[in-house]
Structure 1
């Protein structure tokens, strides 16, 4: 069974600045402690990462994943292609202008290959969402704003 979590938060930067940070996928390990490495395998027609291989470590579990991104002007979504630990994963960062700059809406849904209690999965996802909120905000403000 897949478990979904979402969050909304504001960043004091323009949507274009936040999107540039999201497009810079090779630098995700700089703002996400869970990401050990990121390798771009393919790019789309305008040079954005399309297929990515990542190694993550969270709560003592390590996973190598291949995901595929789709991009629009104000969002990026991803779908799991291959993973050692997950059966499925989907997610999205959607950006909208706000009074403070940009409202970021992040959604993530995943289903592990092995049975994991739902409360453990939700706790891990909430931890990941909190890390995204802090890490992405700091990364955007220090590099792109």
Structure 2
């Protein structure tokens, strides 16, 4: 898999509150652009999603995929593709949360490969659009 694309935003809330929103995957269609539907298939011992099926509609990527989640308390989460779709062939992503003087710095990293041939620059631009939309949506949702 190719390099990851990442972006960071500062949210004026603590890690637990932000992690709660991130862990509510079924709520993503309300605030995360490009996410149409999420079904939690399996939860971890702490009740957070461990495996999900997600339908995405983000520019050239329209697909239904299966993801596996690995939570690191309120410090972050990583996910990987475990069920390929018709378009998405590989996907890895993560949120990392670091507290910063009354706020939290949230970094989102993403790497996606698809059956649609794309040159690296176009692919990274698409990943950046997905990341920036998600971070801005997360910030709006958490700070409201």
TM-score range, shorter chain: over 0.9
Alpha-carbon distance in 2 for matches of 1:84, 1:4: 21
Alpha-carbon distance in 2 for matches of 1:26, 1:122: 26
Question: Over residues 24-59 of structure 1, what are the superposed CA-to-partner deviations in whole Å (9 max), with x where a residue is unaligned?
Answer: 111011111200100000001111101000111112
How far did residue 124 of structure 1 move? 0.8
CA RMSD of aligned residues (A): 1.3
The answer on whether the counterparts of 2:78 and 2:93 sit within 8 Å (CA) in structure 1 is yes
Where does structure 2 lack aligned partners over 5 or more consecutive residues? none
**1:116 paired residue number:** 118
Normalised by the length of structure 1, the TM-score is 0.92
Q: What pairs with 1:59-138 in structure 2 (closer than 5 Å)? A: 59-73=59-73, 74-82=75-83, 83-138=85-140
Change (3 A) 1:60 1:115: closer
**Matched pairs, number:** 142
How far did residue 94 of structure 1 move? 0.7
How far did residue 61 of structure 1 move? 3.6
Alpha-carbon distance in 1 for matches of 2:8, 2:116: 29
The answer on whether the counterparts of 1:25 and 1:49 sit within 8 Å (CA) in structure 2 is yes
How far did residue 118 of structure 1 move? 1.5
4+ residue stretches of structure 1 with deviation over 3 A? none
**1:14 paired residue number:** 14
Where does structure 1 lack aligned partners over 5 or more consecutive residues? none
The answer on whether the counterparts of 2:88 and 2:113 sit within 8 Å (CA) in structure 1 is yes
